Amino acid sequence: MSNATTSASGYDIRPLSAAEREKYAAAFTPEERHVILHQGTERPFCGTLLNNKKSGIYACRLCGLPLYRAGSKFESGTGWPSFYEPFDPQHVTELVDRSHGMIRTEIRCARCDAHLGHVFEDGPPPTHQRHCLNSISLEFYEEGTEPEQKAALPVGQASA
């Protein structure tokens, strides 16, 4: 495992502390907390970003780390926004998920550990992957705008 503090695309990927995560999640609704912090899943065909066709970046709702480019989004028919590759592979962490009597690959934000969804091996070329995401875990930024970065505070520095 790498100890890199900056991803190949130039973003700070140092892990947030539990206190920082809680601070950034303080305004979340109970449903947002359930999905993002406790590995829940929003209902299919209900997510606000499912039918978004604009150019831009999909970033982590909790910390602002860019996760997916609009150009890698495709219509999967599953009811959740689907992408064939991440913005930067260092921005997404994969974990084995053995819940609900299945073995799947869960994906989380590499910086803040927010639950994003799952990745499957039934996507389109060139990767043949389907990153199946919860809209509630993402924030969309139209082309030309950048997400606010909520990076980890340096050790010993208190938050405002």
Annotated domain spans of the chain: 18-142
> For 100-134, how does the pLDDT look when each residue is reduced to its tens digit (9 = 90+)?
787 889 999 999 999 999 999 999 999 999 999 99
Residue 47 has what pLDDT?
93
Q: If 0-12 CB within 10 Å is exposed, 13-18 middle and 19+ buried, where does residue 59 land?
A: buried
CA distance 27 to 20: 13
Known active-site residue 46: no
% of the chain exceeding 70 in pLDDT: 93
Q: Which of 60, 63, 112, 132 is catalytic?
A: 132
Residue 2 has what pLDDT?
46
> For 33-49, how does the pLDDT look when each residue is reduced to its tens digit (9 = 90+)?
999 999 999 999 999 99
Domain 18-142 sits in CATH at 2.170.150.20
**Average pLDDT estimate for 142-148:** 94
Angle at 40 between CA 35 and CA 42, to 5 degrees: 75
